């Protein structure tokens, strides 16, 4: 076997090996993505016992087969939570002909202070498409974990406390599938495009 032929075989072997590794890497990444992806909200929502701001069970029927924007926070949040809810309310009002065309779900991470009455009073400051959700802290933890939400209690002065928490908005289509996220501080044009795309799915 001449030298040129050996070099060609070696080159082909390297290329084939690279392609195989690339395919395996892609398959493994896809596996991890599926494994770590949130369950459909229609599946996880029936495994937890939460209530809305009217005291009614928070179930699939609450979503009324509409796309949803899911956000975790707390009513004593000084900036991120009220800003996010106000922005989402305004943008959904401007991009839809009906304010109820899409759900905004606000799940409290502070059920000790955010009971149904407190939540109901709080969301009155925003448009009417927000669903406040509260319940037992263990049930909220289970629901939050499905989305990989991080939160922790931080003690402040006068025996008070605040929360550090994930400020991501999770986008869910009308069938309950997770369809991406909206980041804190994301450009308004980008948010509008994402919401429009979400409404076109299914």
Q: Which residue has the higher pLDDT, 29 or 143?
A: 143
Range name among 15-24, 52-61, 65-74, 160-169 with the lowest pLDDT average: 15-24
- Which spans in the chain are helix H? 3-36, 41-44, 60-63, 80-95, 116-123, 137-146, 188-200
Q: Is the pLDDT of residue 100 over 70?
A: no
Check whether residue 102 and residue 151 sit in a common domain. yes
Check whether residue 63 and residue 131 sit in a common domain. yes
Rg from Cα positions in the chain: 22
Q: Is the pLDDT of residue 196 over 70?
A: yes
Surface-to-core class of residue 132, CB atoms within 10 Å of its CB (0-12 exposed, 13-18 middle, 19+ buried): buried
- This prediction has a pTM of 0.79
pLDDT in tens, 63-99: 888 999 999 999 999 899 999 999 999 888 888 766 5
Q: Return the bridge partners of 51, or none.
A: 57, 134
Q: Return the bridge partners of 151, or none.
A: 165
Domain at 95, CATH number: 3.40.30.10
- Give me the residue label for tokens 């025996």: 159
**What confidence score (pLDDT) does residue 34 get?**
42
The total of structural domains in the chain comes to 2
What residue numbers bound the domain in which 160 lies? 41-200
Check whether residue 119 and residue 32 sit in a common domain. no
Check whether residue 173 and residue 148 sit in a common domain. yes
Check whether residue 6 and residue 72 sit in a common domain. no
């Amino acid at each position: 076997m001449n030298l040129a032929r050996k070099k060609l075989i070696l080159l082909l072997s390297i290329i084939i090996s690279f392609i195989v590794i690339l395919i395996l890497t892609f398959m493994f990444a896809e596996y991890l993505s599926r494994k770590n992806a949130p369950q459909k909200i229609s599946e996880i929502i029936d495994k937890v016992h939460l209530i809305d701001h009217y005291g009614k069970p928070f179930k699939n029927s609450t979503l009324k087969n509409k796309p949803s924007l899911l956000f975790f926070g707390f009513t004593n949040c000084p900036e991120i939570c009220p800003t996010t809810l106000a922005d989402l309310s305004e943008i959904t009002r401007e991009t839809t002909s009906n304010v109820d065309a899409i759900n905004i779900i606000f799940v409290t991470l502070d059920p000790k202070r955010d009971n149904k009455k407190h939540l109901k009073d709080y969301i009155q400051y925003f448009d009417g498409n927000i669903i406040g959700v509260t319940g037992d802290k263990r049930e909220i933890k289970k629901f939050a974990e499905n989305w990989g939400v991080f939160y922790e209690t931080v003690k402040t002065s006068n025996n008070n406390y605040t929360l550090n928490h994930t400020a991501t908005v999770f986008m869910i289509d009308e069938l309950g599938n997770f369809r991406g996220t909206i980041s804190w501080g994301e450009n308004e044009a980008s948010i509008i495009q994402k919401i429009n795309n979400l409404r076109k799915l299914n």
